[in-house]
Structures are given as C-alpha cells and as structure tokens.
Amino acid sequence: MTLPTRPDNPLLDRLPVALRDSRLLGLLAGLVLVLLAASLIGALLRRRAATPKAHATVENLIARTNSWWIMATLFLTTGLLGLGATLCLFALLSFFALREMITLAPTRRADHHTLFWIFFVITPLHYWLLYDRWYGLFAIFIPVYGFLWICIRSTLTGDYKHYSERVARIFLALMICTYCISHAPALLTLDIPHFAGQNVKLLFFLAIVVQSSDVLQYVWGKLLGRHKIAPHISPNKTWEGFIGGSLSAALLSLALAWMTPFNLWQTALIAYALTLAGFAGGIVMSAIKRDAGVKDYSQLIPGHGGVMDRIDSLCFAAPLFFHITRYYFTGPAA
C-alpha cells in the first residue's frame, strides 16, 4: 500500500507511518468535528430545556458527549503512540472490566486469594506476553495455565462451598475481560506484508465497524423493529435492527477499506463477520447483567455505564478479527 507521503520533508518523516496518511488525518478531523457539533448541540439544548425531564435528557446527552471526548482522545492517542501505550490502556480496561464482572457475582472470602492472582499476576503477565510478542504462550496462557491455576488456587483455600460455580464465574470473567479484549491491541503485533507501521489502522477499523454497527442496529430497530430476538435478555434488540444495522455497517466498511490490507470484498465480508460477533458479545454481556439484576455494569463512565457496557461488542469481535487477519494476511513466519 502506497501512502501519500513527502519523502523530502524531514519533519513529516519523523511522524508515525500511520499519521503520514492524509485519509487517516481526515478521518480524525471528522471525528473531532462530530464531537464539537455534539457539544455545541448539547449547549444549545441546555439553554432551551424548559422542564425537569427535558433538562435531565439534555444533561445525559452532555455527559455522554463529554465521555466520548475522553474515550476517543485516550483511544486515539495511545493507538498512535504505539504498542506499549496501547497495551497499558487495554490492561487498565481489563482491570476495570474484571472488577465490574466480579462485583456482580457473589464471592466468598476464600475467593479473594484467587482474585488477587487474576488481577495482579495473570492479567499483567498476559499483556506482557503481548508486549514481548510471544504469541505461542499468549494464545494458551489464560485458557490453559490460567484455568489450571484458578482451579488449584481455589482448592487450596479449603472452601468447597459452591466450588464449581465460583471457579466458573472467575474463569469466565478472566476469559472475557482479559483474554478476549486483549486481542484488540494484539493487532499491533502482527507482521503484515506491505503494511508495516500501519497496524493501528486495523485497531481503528475494528472499533469503527463494531461501534457503528451498534448504533445502526439501534437506528434500524427504532425505525422498523417489530420482532424481538431475545426479549427477556435485551428487549430493544430486534431482527430488523440486527439485519439492517449489520448490513449497513458492512457497507460502511467499504469506505474504510483503505485502512486495511484487504480488498473490497474481503473488507465487506470481514466487517459483516465483525458485526455478527459484536452482536453476540453484546447480547452475552446483557445476559450476564440480567442474571445479576442490574441495568449497567457500573456508573464509571457518565452517561454510558461501566467499561464493559462500552466494550461488550469488542469482546467477541476482537479475537475473531485478530485471527482472521493473522491466519490469512500475515507472512508465513507469523
């Protein structure tokens, strides 16, 4: 892939490869304009809100917009800074997501020993394996050795009450919040021919496709939604919204094909697969919340709920995207 660079400009040459792409800079500028417009609209609506209900709605919109400013800035900045910064961000996301999921599940005092290991040993070590690019151990560390150690450490406490349920909950949280989510920053470790230094675009592509699918499914559901998919788990999700949103996001991805090493038909198929995986992740996370009897995982992010409420769709989409890209688009030594 040829980037629109100016090799005779030494200042430009010092920038990360991804930032030398004028299309990426245009996309980032567009994002800033959208957020500025949302902030301006929120300020105008705040002045016109005449009733307590309208005022509460506007304040929620403003809180959501402010949170998007912070989240977008952190995500884009760490992505452009490189692998180390991105891994630190996602390690923090894993930490808070783990905390939210563990908090929802009833635990016993004996579980605190096991929880110490998954928070402060297994999760940091898992991300270190990514930083070291030790893919062989990264791929099996949590599913094999993490699982074995959770079972062993939980047994050593001597507390056998509801043992299977407790171990299953802890392992489920670790798999979703650390193992699955970590495949998003793992995209930066891939060695893709003719794509050197541009892997951050794949991370941005993943986030845009998955998040836009969520939004478009909501819009299509409001417009045409009639048949609910799982009314007791996620009452707002309909087949019409799911199909319309997924197809719309796949079509939108064609305009973003320049961010990937894929051709147009590959981009559309992969994006559609990501929308399916994102939907699956969202509904699974909803089932966990319903089982716990809560609406949101936490109130950490104003207007959005918790960390897991924002990255639920990434949980299933990230591993799928990583492995599709790794097995079909990297060099033979990857």
Per the CB < 8 A criterion, the answer to whether 174 and 146 are in contact is: yes
Which pLDDT does position 115 carry in this prediction? 95
Q: At what angle do helices 83-104 and 163-174 cross, to 10 degrees?
A: 150
* Residue ranges per structural domain of the chain: 14-81, 84-189, 191-334
Query: What is residue 127's predicted lDDT score, i.e. its pLDDT?
Result: 98
pLDDT at 28: 85
Residues 331, 191 contacting (CB under 8 angstroms): yes
Q: What is the pTM of this model?
A: 0.89
State the Cα–Cα distance between residues 154 and 151, nearest whole angstrom. Answer: 5
Contact by Cβ (8 Å): 237, 219: no
**pLDDT for res 2:** 46
Residue 333 exposed, middle or buried by CB count within 10 Å (0-12, 13-18, 19+): exposed
Mean pLDDT of residues grouped by 10 in the chain (334 residues)? Answer: 51 60 85 87 81 77 79 87 94 95 86 95 97 96 97 93 93 96 96 91 94 87 86 87 92 94 95 95 92 84 81 93 95 56
Cα separation, 89 vs 153, in Å, equals: 28
Q: 10 Å Cβ neighbour count for 161?
A: 8
For the chain, helix (H) and strand (E) counts, in that order, are 13, 0
pLDDT, position 199:
93
- Residue 333 main-chain phi, psi, to 5 deg: -90, -5
Query: What's the pLDDT at 322?
Result: 97
Count the alpha carbons within 13 Å of 215 in the hemisphere toward its beta carbon.
9
DSSP-derived secondary structure for 93-115: HHHHHHHHHHHHS---TTHHHHH
